Structure 1
Amino acid sequence: MTAHAYSPSLFARTGTVSAVTLAAVGGSLLVPGGAPEAHAAAAHAAKALKVAASKKGAPYGYGATGPSSFDCSGLVLYSYRKAGRSLPRTAQAQYNRTRHIAASSRQKGDLVFFHHGGQVYHVGIYAGAGKIWHSPKTGSVVKLTKIWSKGVRYGRVG
């Protein structure tokens, strides 16, 4: 949805406009002193992305949730917790908790879920330019990697 600037001439011509009417025509209502929900979610996502990047080189540990080692969902859990958001422990449960979005709508900080059939088996945090921060497997470390599969789903933490 695109935000529209306040137009005194629009209100003068149409009279009082309700928030419902404004939303129905594709506008947005900005409340002084209030942060739009999307802006707040983006701020949390940006912070989670920075936290994940700060863990570059931390070793993979099965079931580990930080602060010195991580598995894939543990890195996501830790990063979003530090950003002020709560997520469940496993990649599948994290997928179930997020708002699912199209690849064309993905933004930095969104979650990238790798799946086989109906089961999610891996998760990372989208870093932009087709890359994710993730903790891939035993013997590896937290790193920035190009997304290697077209079979991914995206989720946004609210």
Structure 2
Amino acid sequence: MKHRTDSLGFNMHEWFRYISILVISALALGGCASHQSLPEGMADVPPSSPTAAAQEPGKAQKLWQVFERYQGTPYRYGGTSSNGFDCSGFILTAYQEGLGKQLPRTTSQMLASGDAIHPGNIQPGDLVFFRIRGKEQHAGIYMGDDRFIHASTSIGVTQSSMNGYYWKGRFTQARRFD
């Protein structure tokens, strides 16, 4: 049986396979948290000018160094080491190793701590939280330029875009731990 091919020489079976791989990859990159909302009481807080990032350039650099050390480390629920991280375990380790700061262990404890930040005022080092399956259960560290680092359930320690397909509609709030 002869397969029909397009102008590039691909047959329909190959196109279907490539499209399927792309769709599955996009879904898999999602990670561990539905609608975008501000934390209670934050709707009336105006964003301030983003000058703290310029005041503390070493903070992001230190966090990037920790990220580079652990990039690709697999996801492991409850994990806090190079054997595997969950999202809050990676944040805990990044803050301890990169900034010498102790943070709460779990995402829910982190949500109850720190200072709420208006979405227009998120700076490198702030924690960003995402809603998955109806509750806030995923977090990462904002690194500037629309990027955050985190431990994804599907690919481990990675960086992602805040406006990426999976994350954009799931962002719920940011918190700062100074």
Q: Structure 2 length normalisation: TM-score?
A: 0.59
**Is 1:157 equivalent to 2:177 in the alignment?**
yes
Unaligned ranges ≥5, structure 2: 1-54
Query: Following TM superposition, by how much is the alpha carbon of 1:92 offset from its aligned partner in structure 2, in angstroms?
Result: 1.3
Please tell me whether residue 97 in structure 1 is matched to residue 121 in structure 2. no
Task: State the aligned residue count.
Answer: 120
- In structure 2, give the amino acid aligned to 1:136: S
Cα deviation code 1:58-109 (max 9, x no counterpart): 1111100113310100000001011210111111111211211011111111
In the alignment, which of 63, 70, 74 is matched to residue 78 of structure 2? 63
The question of whether the paired residues in 2 share the 8 Å contact of 1:134 and 1:143 is answered with yes
Residue number in structure 2 paired with 1:126: 142
Deviations 1:111-152 (A, max 9, x none): 111136994200001122212111111x42211111222432
- SS of 1:107's equivalent in the other structure is coil
In structure 2, how many angstroms separate the alpha carbons of the residues matched to 1:117 and 1:104?
A: 25
Mean Cα deviation higher: 125-134 or 76-85: 125-134
Instruction: Write out the 4+ residue segments of structure 1 that deviate beyond 4 Å after TM superposition.
Output: 42-46, 116-119
Preserved CA contact (<8 Å) 1:112 1:125? yes
Higher relative contact order (CA 8 A, sep 6+): 2
What is the one-letter code of the residue matched to 1:93?
Q
Between 74-83 and 107-116, the greater mean CA deviation after superposition: 107-116
- Identical residues among aligned pairs (%): 33
Can you give the 5+ residue segments of structure 1 that lack an aligned partner in the other structure? 1-38
Give the RMSD, CA atoms, in angstroms: 2.6
Q: TM-score, normalised by structure 1?
A: 0.65
- Structure 1 distance, partners of 2:102, 2:60, is 12
